[in-house]
Structure 1
Amino acid sequence: MSVQEFIANKKMLDVEWRFSSFNHNIILVATANSSKENYSDCFLQLKIKTIDKNMVEETTHFELTLAQFNELFTEIEKVKNLMSLIK
């Protein structure tokens, strides 16, 4: 199933997330460019609960690298900005 089909056919019910590293959970997430190298082994774990048109609930797990998370966050910000225009 493509991402477009996933989005079109399901409604999101809940999202859980946490930042982790391969060695331990991250308590502090650095945002300075110079600090990113120190956290190159970080990843984000997502658990998304959805429901489809037939009222079937499903939980999907994802793991994103820090780079993938930054890309996702950029796209979410774009959507947020578009949504604010249509309010």
Structure 2
Amino acid sequence: MEKLSIVDQLLTRIDNIHELGRQRAFELGNPFYAKYEGNGDYYTKELPSGERYLVKVEIVTDQDEFPIEIKDTIIKRIVS
């Protein structure tokens, strides 16, 4: 039997689809933003280093409403 790739494994559990975005963000050296229940209007920002922060996010768009930049303001560091 053929071994499933990480992508195939993740797709078999579609409730974990955010993990694909997280993995890709880290591959590019970017932070990963996610909104979790209990954080109110704030997002969690996770860096490739594993550091996590609660942040307020502003998405800057161009004249066609296409996102061009994410500005975040750190509210507090999340200690695991």
State the TM-score, normalized to the length of structure 2. 0.29
State the TM-score, normalized to the length of structure 1. 0.28
Structure with bigger helix share is 1
